[in-house]
Amino acid sequence: MPSPSVAVFQHSTTGLRKAFTLIELMVVIVIISILASLTLAGVRGSNRRAKIEKTKSTIRKIDAVIQPMYDSYRTRRVSTLNDNGTTPSTSLIAASNRLTNLRRLMMYEMPDNWADVATSGTAAPPGLPANASATLLSLCRNGTTRAYAATRPASPNSSYGSAECLYMILSRSGFDPEALEGFRGDEVTDIDADGMREFADGWGRPIAFLRWAPGFSSPYSFIQYADPSTYHDPLDPLRRDANAFALRPLVYSPGQDESLNSALSTSGPSGYGLLQIDSSAGWNVKNLLNICQARDAGNAGLIGAPDPANADAYRDNITNHDLIKK
């Protein structure tokens, strides 16, 4: 039987083994804090990547409709007559008329702002010349443009006009009647609650649209190059527009900087970091044979080019032009 002094010693030793020192406790807390911060960083990174992938998936589905629609204009039959219905005096003028009318159709069937949409089904599409012939009117006032006119709100919100027009194209153009079948409920939004829907990216922001993005070219695009000689506009085989390079429609999200966070933002699409035409003015293009020289309403730069007032905002954009790269 151990002596009392030994028993006390053993009891004290056992008690010391069951307790943490202050230093040990602090070390454990530090380790747990480091592990927690690493875990949170990983979760944030995974969440960001998930939003990027969701956005890319939505844009791919949109592009699967928009790109074939764009390609279809290569074989669309349009009038080669002059605007007033008279016969062109030369074959080159006829070729110019054909290109102009193809681009008119693109304006009206693939609008990227509400100013491109007629105010009613019986109204002439905006921007047609005053002497437009019945042939030209029937070309531009077809079933698609009438459907758009019936959809057009009385007082459209110009801040989200391109996003709303993009949704309208997929839902009302008739090009792909089942176009909306592949979209989930969380891929559609109405951010300004005006009854006009938009496609939503991974951050819940509207996905925007530019029918022609002539300034959005190398190095800003992975597939589009401002080179009219090598990459000339396929809609212009006779090269009636010498400056026209291939103008693939641009579908784009503001990316993870979540531009336009205010649902009623007055800054408009400039939050995406690209120059656009002022929606209130619309195109009002005087010469559709020179669209690659088109500039924004303030004449500040080529439409679709990075906004000089916000030169880096476009860098995290997710677009149908660079789905492979990003």
Condensed to tens digits (0 to 9), the pLDDT of residues 312-325 reads 778 888 999 887 76
Q: At what angle do helices 22-72 and 161-172 cross, to 10 degrees?
A: 60
In a domain, 131, yes or no: no
In a domain, 227, yes or no: yes
Task: Using the predicted structure, report yes or no on whether residue 233 has a pLDDT greater than 80.
Answer: yes
pLDDT of res. 146: 93
The count of structural domains within the chain is 1
Average per-residue pLDDT for the chain: 81
pLDDT of res. 261: 45
In a domain, 61, yes or no: yes
Are the beta carbons of 291 and 285 closer than 8 angstroms? yes
In a domain, 109, yes or no: no
pLDDT of res. 263: 43
Condensed to tens digits (0 to 9), the pLDDT of residues 78-98 reads 999 999 999 999 999 999 999
In a domain, 21, yes or no: no
Choice among 4-13, 35-44, 96-105, 117-126 with the minimum mean pLDDT:
4-13
Task: Using the predicted structure, report yes or no on whether residue 269 has a pLDDT greater than 60.
Answer: no
Condensed to tens digits (0 to 9), the pLDDT of residues 25-84 reads 888 888 888 888 777 767 666 788 899 999 999 999 999 999 999 999 999 999 999 999
- Phi, psi angles (nearest 5°) of residue 186: -80, 0
Here the contacts of 234-242 (C-beta below 8 Å, separation 24 or greater) are 234/74, 235/73, 235/74, 235/99, 235/102, 235/103, 236/99, 238/92, 238/95, 238/99, 240/92, 240/95, 240/96, 240/99, 240/289, 241/99, 241/289, 241/290, 241/291, 241/292
Task: Using the predicted structure, report yes or no on whether residue 180 has a pLDDT greater than 90.
Answer: yes
pLDDT of res. 111: 92
In a domain, 210, yes or no: yes
- The alpha carbon of residue 303 and the mean position of all alpha carbons in its chain are separated, in whole angstroms, by 14
Task: Using the predicted structure, report yes or no on whether residue 260 has a pLDDT greater than 60.
Answer: no
pLDDT of res. 155: 85
pLDDT of res. 101: 92
What's the average model confidence in pLDDT over 182-186?
A: 93
Distances (CA, A) of 193 to 145, 182, 258, 279: 24, 23, 19, 19
Measured between alpha carbons, how far is 21 from 23 in angstroms, rounded to an integer? Answer: 5
Condensed to tens digits (0 to 9), the pLDDT of residues 134-165 reads 989 988 899 999 999 999 988 887 778 889 99
pLDDT of res. 217: 58
Q: Which domain holds residue 176?
A: 55-75+153-319
In a domain, 60, yes or no: yes
Are the beta carbons of 276 and 259 closer than 8 angstroms? no
DSSP state of 232: B
221 vs 185 pLDDT, higher one: 185
Measured between alpha carbons, how far is 313 from 276 in angstroms, rounded to an integer? Answer: 14
What is the pTM (predicted TM-score) of this model? Answer: 0.80
Are the beta carbons of 227 and 288 closer than 8 angstroms? no
Buried (b) or exposed (e) across 142-155, using 16+ Cβ within 10 A? eebbbbbbebbeee
Are the beta carbons of 165 and 112 closer than 8 angstroms? yes
Task: Using the predicted structure, report yes or no on whether residue 286 has a pLDDT greater than 80.
Answer: no
Most confident of 123-137, 177-191, 287-301: 177-191
Measured between alpha carbons, how far is 144 from 146 in angstroms, rounded to an integer? Answer: 5
In a domain, 197, yes or no: yes
